[in-house]
Amino acid sequence: MEDKWALEEHLSTAENNKLWDSAGEAARNGEGYMDYVETHLLDVQDRLQIMDATGIERAIVSLTAPGIQSITETTLAVQVARETNDLVRRKYVDQHPDRFSFFACLPTQDGQQAAAELRRAVRDLGAVGALINGYTNVGDASSGRYLDDDSYEPLWAAVADLGVPVYLHPREPLPAQQAIYAGYESLTGSAWGFAHETATHAIRLMLSGLFDRHPGVQIILGHLAEGLPFLLPRLEHRLAKQKDGAGLGVARRKVSEYFSDNFYATTSGHFHTRTLFNTLAELGVDRVLFSADYPYETMEEAASWFDNSLLCANDARKIGRDNARRLFSGIA
């Protein structure tokens, strides 16, 4: 397939690199691997050449995790988010408008400021939505504010008003929640901890009443929806029996209904055909989107797997491009 669209494709900036715990990442993930990642997060031309070679027509790029969400000072977060969105527009979209679009990064340290930056990024810069890296550190690195917090109502109102999706991207669990990984710290990130952290965050959104207040809001989850296609039926079964339990009296609908109506899944970093088919069975072919997760994964592996995944031609077209074109209908 020669005209795929990819949605979870990461980049970095010199300013973001100053905030990045590169030594910690290298210790957890391997020095050689992280050297490759850090080099390619800053590169444009190699990215384009690989896109050409793997049949990826357009990439929607976004600031790598933990990004703005890890900045503990609100004023700095607002400044860095604004500067980053301006830079990405100039460096990627302006230079290669037929190949790149971008998700805005947002200063979620403050709900009003995040809403304002989303409106600016979409209306003035042409951002096609936002990517948020999980919880937000507020005050210090040990604190975490999740997106179901009441302070984010202005942001969700802006998302609904603009009609753009939010990509909920993983980050590592808070330090206080990492005891289970002691001695196996490599599990805290993409190998395992990302999925558990982000799936739970998504469930919080489902149970919070967000999608009752704003039924049109659309959330994108990577990695074939972080295990939710397999685990959500069990969750729903248990919640029905625990219906009077703490935190369960707000949402008006079943979690499976929110999942079907308000969530998309991408194939980013999860190149396994049986899992893809399970996701299709639970979510439907119209809500699954191709992605690679570059440069943490290679476009070559993502594209080779997808192009040989035994999908029928019609489903491959939908997942590879058509669903994305519909979701991001504002892209020329």
**Residues catalogued as catalytic:** 293
Nearest to residue 303, comparing CAs of 293, 288, 312, 313? 293
Name the residue type at position 221.
L
Phi and psi of 140, rounded to 5°? -155, 170
d(CA 232, CA 294): 28
